[in-house]
Amino acid sequence: MNLTQKIKKKLHTVNHEELVHKLGYRNSDAGLHTIEAFMKSENIYTWLKNGHFDLHYDAAGFLIVLCKQLKIPQHLCEKEIAAAKQRIETFSRMKIPYITVRTNFKRTGESITTLVAMGSRLRISLKKEDFIEKNREDAISFVSDIVKKHYREHSGKLPLWGKITGYDFHLPDGTVMQCH
């Protein structure tokens, strides 16, 4: 059982009004709202990433006092918070990954408006979250599957742009890899 599950399990066994008072909230509504928000969070990482703040505690401060009140060892809480903060920092340094599609396009009088409108077909958006825990090899494998699927779905040709000649994968570290 991970820390989030432990905290949520213990929260189901205590009176939230009393807990909010023990946590130092003068306004029980704010404390109850924070507990409710934490219960909805997927894990410590998402709790910290979303940056909850209730004028009494920030997300990390709330976790620390909550663990203390729920008698969860402080070192477990601090270790999980440190790991989540490290992941958040890694995420913030990442560039947004994407794939550009290369084609044999030769302009033959298409209007700029048409080209701009169709330009989105030359870019495949990706999410940073999909790469945060992947090493380079796993990231390349993940993108390779996307590229193969895209090529198959479009039968190797994009309307207006023509035959697909390759793909460029823009990695989260800022480098670009060509895929053929």
Q: Is the pLDDT of residue 92 over 80?
A: yes
How far is the C-alpha of 143 from the C-alpha of 134, rounded, in Å? 11
23 shares its domain with 84: yes
Share of the chain above pLDDT 90, in %: 85
Whether 67 and 127 map to the same domain: the answer is no
Query: Of the candidates 44, 71, 92, which is a domain's last residue?
Result: 92
Secondary structure of residue 91 in the 3-state scheme: helix
Reduced to 3 states (helix: H, G, I; strand: E, B; else coil), residue 17 is helix
The pLDDT value recorded for residue 52 is 87
pLDDT of 56-76, one tens digit each? 899 999 999 999 999 999 999
Band (113; pLDDT cuts 50, 70, 90)? very high
Let me know whether 9 and 25 are in one domain. yes
Final residue before a domain boundary, out of 65, 92, 119:
92
Domain carrying residue 173: 94-179
Question: Quick check: 133 pLDDT over 90?
Answer: no
Same domain, residue pair 71 and 15: yes
- How many angstroms separate the CA atoms of 157 and 33, rounded? 52
β-sheet bridge partners, residue 169? 99, 177
Structure tokens at 179: 């895929």
